């Protein structure tokens, strides 16, 4: 059991990756439980501003660190009794490979936590589909990280969320933005790949539930998918339905999508300047889409944590109404489609 030596919950958590999409929901839920949250950040003061408002004075503590400097990692963990690793990136940059971000950093955090001696819980956020044999470099790196963490800390808890949906997501926002700007949506493959998107708040809820349990989630791996399985095409239809635009797709077969995405990967370390972040054509994501990614039959899931995940249709995707032409109140019902002729 965690000692009650902090604000309320007894938890003093260092949340690596707190400045990202999932991070804000995890910090919010930890703060609500009455935990102290240490927020390592590497960018400007702006990247953690929104988090400070989630707790009382002194409850959320931003700490500048350098992820490549072991002593600075030790400093941000020094007072913690819980370590949560949310560090990740869905594309490689000239500075950081998938292996460094997803695997070596996670391994380093586990090793330092072990050495620390006072870290009671270590929670790693991995990815649904993580496997050493995946087509995706990122998912292979995530699998290597899981193995390294469980080697160092067999009592660690690993969560593998499916693609996460929510106000700041990088799937529905990206699609809606593209569809609004270009009048169509590229459907990679033929749109029949199955995924199991999950509401980001449910993933944060699973994490804090695991943290508060009696230790029964220690040493376990949970696969966190939403209640419904969608094909990419079905999810795109839901997006179009919500933004009330007429669906228009261009099917992009895998070999063509890969051909569009490959030059960035080839040039990444060959040109003396940073390349743009991949948008719709991210080679690693395209490789992931060659296979269905859904929760496996024998996995531990939300159910084992006593959580009923939200259906996507409704509140979890309500943020999409900001993409509606004519404003969020345009039209009357969500299923009322409008034709292109309605817009002169
Ligand atoms: N988003 C999804 O749909 C999804 C689905 C399944 C699993 N996951 C996993 O869930 C975790 C959280 O995802 P997310 O969507 O919240 O990610 P995100 O928004 O991209 O945030 C990632 C976090 O990692 C940090 N980070 C990235 N590169 C780093 C580096 N080189 N050194 C140190 N910190 C670095 C970022 O810090 P900066 O702010 O400094 O960049 C940020 O705090 C990740 O491990 C991701 O792989 C995500």
Could you tell me the distance, in angstroms and rounded to a whole number, from the CA of residue 306 to the centre of ligand 1? Answer: 26
**270 pLDDT tier (thresholds 50, 70, 90):** confident
| Structure tokens given for 130 | 């993580």
For the chain, the first-to-last Cα distance in angstroms comes to 64
Return the SS3 of 150: helix
User: pLDDT per residue over 132-150, tens digit each?
Assistant: 999 999 999 999 999 999 9
Query: Are residues 130 and 147 in contact, defined by beta-carbon separation less than 8 angstroms?
Result: no
Could you tell me the distance, in angstroms and rounded to a whole number, from the CA of residue 262 to the centre of ligand 1? Answer: 23
**328 pLDDT tier (thresholds 50, 70, 90):** low
Residue identifier of the C-alpha nearest atom 35 of ligand 1: 87
Could you tell me the distance, in angstroms and rounded to a whole number, from the CA of residue 109 to the centre of ligand 1? Answer: 15
Scan for tokens 């600075």, then name that residue. Answer: 72
Scan for tokens 């390294």, then name that residue. Answer: 148
- Nearest Cα to Cα of residue 199 among 230, 175, 167: 167
In short, whether 125's Cβ falls inside 6 Å of ligand 1 is yes
- pLDDT at res. 42: 96
Checking DSSP bridges between strand 230-231 and strand 194-195, what pairing results, if any? antiparallel
Could you tell me the distance, in angstroms and rounded to a whole number, from the CA of residue 110 to the centre of ligand 1? Answer: 17
In short, whether 96's Cβ falls inside 6 Å of ligand 1 is yes
- pLDDT at res. 329: 62
Cα–Cα dist 181/53, whole Å: 34
Query: Are residues 169 and 235 in contact, defined by beta-carbon separation less than 8 angstroms?
Result: no
In short, whether 22's Cβ falls inside 6 Å of ligand 1 is yes
Q: Of all atoms in ligand 1, which is nearest to the CA of residue 168?
A: 19
Could you tell me the distance, in angstroms and rounded to a whole number, from the CA of residue 191 to the centre of ligand 1? Answer: 26
User: pLDDT per residue over 54-96, tens digit each?
Assistant: 999 999 999 999 999 999 999 999 999 999 999 999 999 999 9
In short, whether 23's Cβ falls inside 6 Å of ligand 1 is yes
Q: Report which secondary-structure segment, H or E, holds 203.
A: helix 200-212
Query: Are residues 80 and 122 in contact, defined by beta-carbon separation less than 8 angstroms?
Result: no
pLDDT at 344 over 50: no
* Mean confidence (pLDDT) of the chain: 92
- Mean pLDDT, residues 6-15 taken together: 84
User: pLDDT per residue over 196-251, tens digit each?
Assistant: 999 999 999 999 999 999 999 999 999 999 999 999 999 999 999 999 899 999 99
| Structure tokens given for 59 | 């409850």
In short, whether 94's Cβ falls inside 6 Å of ligand 1 is no
Residue identifier of the C-alpha nearest atom 26 of ligand 1: 87
- pLDDT at res. 266: 87
pLDDT at 3 over 90: no
User: pLDDT per residue over 36-50, tens digit each?
Assistant: 999 999 999 899 999
- pLDDT at res. 269: 83
Cβ within 8 Å of residue 336, ≥6 positions away: 244
Query: Are residues 165 and 228 in contact, defined by beta-carbon separation less than 8 angstroms?
Result: no
Count of CB atoms situated within 10 Å of the CB of 5: 10
Cα–Cα dist 244/88, whole Å: 33
- pLDDT at res. 273: 87
Domain boundaries, the chain: 12-163+199-225+294-309
In short, whether 211's Cβ falls inside 6 Å of ligand 1 is no
- Mean pLDDT, residues 276-304 taken together: 95
- Nearest Cα to Cα of residue 321 among 264, 245, 255: 245
- Mean pLDDT, residues 303-307 taken together: 98
In short, whether 164's Cβ falls inside 6 Å of ligand 1 is yes
Higher pLDDT, residue 8 or 334: 8
pLDDT at 336 over 90: no
Please give the CATH topology (third level) of the domain spanning 12-163+199-225+294-309: Rossmann fold (3.40.50)
Strands (E) located in the chain: 12-16, 36-41, 60-64, 82-85, 121-125, 157-161, 164-165, 185-188, 194-195, 198-199, 221-224, 230-231, 249-252
Instruction: Provide φ and ψ at 40, rounded to 5°.
Output: -70, 135
Query: Are residues 139 and 147 in contact, defined by beta-carbon separation less than 8 angstroms?
Result: no
pTM: 0.94
Could you tell me the distance, in angstroms and rounded to a whole number, from the CA of residue 322 to the centre of ligand 1? Answer: 25
In short, whether 20's Cβ falls inside 6 Å of ligand 1 is yes
Could you tell me the distance, in angstroms and rounded to a whole number, from the CA of residue 256 to the centre of ligand 1? Answer: 28
Higher pLDDT, residue 274 or 343: 274
Cα–Cα dist 91/284, whole Å: 7
């Amino acid at each position: 059991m965690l000692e009650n030596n902090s604000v309320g919950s007894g938890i003093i958590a260092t949340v690596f990756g707190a400045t990202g999409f999932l991070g804000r929901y995890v910090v919010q839920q930890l703060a609500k439980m009455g935990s102290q949250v240490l927020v390592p950040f590497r960018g400007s003061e702006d990247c953690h501003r929104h988090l400070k408002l989630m707790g009382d004075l002194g409850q959320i503590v931003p700490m500048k660190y350098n992820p490549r400097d072991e002593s600075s990692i030790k400093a941000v963990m020094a007072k913690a009794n819980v370590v949560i690793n949310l560090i990740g990136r869905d594309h490689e940059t000239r500075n950081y490979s998938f292996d460094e971000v997803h695997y070596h950093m996670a391994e380093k955090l586990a090793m330092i936590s072990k050495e620390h001696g006072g870290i009671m819980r270590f929670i790693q956020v991995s990815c649904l589909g993580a496997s050493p044999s995946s087509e995706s470099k990122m998912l292979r790196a995530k699998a290597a990280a899981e193995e390294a963490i469980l080697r160092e800390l067999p009592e660690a808890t690993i969560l593998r969320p499916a693609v996460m949906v929510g106000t700041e997501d990088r799937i529905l926002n990206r699609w809606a933005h593209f569809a609004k700007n270009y009048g169509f949506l590229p459907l990679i493959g033929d749109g029949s790949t199955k995924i199991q998107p999950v509401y980001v708040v449910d993933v944060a809820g699973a994490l804090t539930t695991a943290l508060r349990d009696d230790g029964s989630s220690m040493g376990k791996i949970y696969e966190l998918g939403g209640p419904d399985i969608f094909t990419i095409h079905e999810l795109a239809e839901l997006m179009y339905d919500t933004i009330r635009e007429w669906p228009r797709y261009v099917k992009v077969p895998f070999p063509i999508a890969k051909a569009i995405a490959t030059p960035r990967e080839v040039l990444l370390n060959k040109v003396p300047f940073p390349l743009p972040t991949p948008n719709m054509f991210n080679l690693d994501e395209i490789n992931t889409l060659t296979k269905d990614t859904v929760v496996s039959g024998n996995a531990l899931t939300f159910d084992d944590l006593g959580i009923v995940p939200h259906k996507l249709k409704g509140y979890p995707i309500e943020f999409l109404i900001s993409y509606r032409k004519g404003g969020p109140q345009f039209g009357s019902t969500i299923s009322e489609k409008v034709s292109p002729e309605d817009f002169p």
